[in-house]
Amino acid sequence: LTGSEAQVWAGAARGSSSSSSGRKQRQWGLREEEDGERAPNSSPSLSPPLGSSSHPTARLPSRGGRFPTLPLQPPSLSSATHVSRPRRRRPSWDTTYERELQAFREYGDTGEIWFGEESVTRLIRWLERRRVPLDASVLDIGTGNGAFLVELAKSGFSNVTGIDYSPAAIQLSRSIIEKEGLANVKLQVEDFLNPTSALPKFGICVDKGTFDAISLNPDNPVEKRKRYVKSLSRVLETGGFFLITSCNWTKDELLREFSEGFEVLEELPTPKFLFGGRSGNSVTALVFRRKGGASPDGLG
């Protein structure tokens, strides 16, 4: 399967619930293979059919465990590469995170990790293999509930920052981080497409679903993706690393999106699946390096 839409379909077919996933796999002949990791618990899933069993709906994982829906064509190889455009504007992340914040206050529920715990482990293992200094500056783009920041801090990283354009998300992240008793974690409200001068440069930038969410916005997504790349070039130091995990873009597509000013260093292993006799990945995880000079001190 090729194309970002095929990955959306593949991710949707995997299911977020083991029981519902099993039913769908038996129905459509889908079998998963693992590449040394369990499939993320928060993987995309299928919602109930819209009017008939021939028109399922894909739900992409989103920050805070909410799922924007995209209508899909029936499950066949010929149609698995087509996804209709969303008809409605993106949901209000402020509303989403206000609900998440209330749930945390009432029940201690921190929310879900986008792409699952394995996605966080994958990134931290790469940082450790690369021998990235624990005081290296790390930016989590679209931090949501701050789950990645929490694990970074617990792993010993002491100079981490999370940004989100939603004030409610930052409030939720701050509440969770304070409960965990973690220090050296900075949070600030920032629209990454229009970063303020208060946002400094970083040696490492991490995106785990934010570029996907921006890409799904029906309001001029091409221009928004260009602005994203421009903002990334502004905040990532020359020679710095950009780690991106996506369920909406293939490796080749991401290479094209970030072709100006960035070079790919590595593709990280992610869970594989079989669909119609073909093998693919449910998500893509790449490491880019910003061109133009040597890496920041200590990053190698």
Residue 67 domain-assigned?
no
| pLDDT tens-digit map of 220-278 | 999 999 999 999 999 999 999 999 999 999 999 999 999 999 999 999 999 888 888 88
Residue-number span of the structural domain to which 202 is assigned? 115-290
Nearest to 206 by CA among 144, 256, 154: 144
Structure tokens at 172: 């939720």
- Domain total for the chain? 1
pTM over 0.75: no
The CATH number covering residue 172 comes to: 3.40.50.150
Of 18-22, 92-96, 155-159, the range with the lowest mean pLDDT is 18-22
Give the Å distances, CA to CA, from 255 to 122, 210, 251, 265, 294: 20, 17, 6, 11, 21
State yes or no: pLDDT of 116 exceeds 80. no
Counts for the chain of helices (H) and strands (E), in that order? 9, 13
Q: Indicate whether 274 belongs to any domain.
A: yes
Residue 94 lies in a domain: no
- Whether 97 maps to a domain, the answer reads no
* Residue carrying structure tokens 């490796």: 251
256 found inside a domain: yes
**125 falls within a domain:** yes
* Per-residue pLDDT, 297: 66
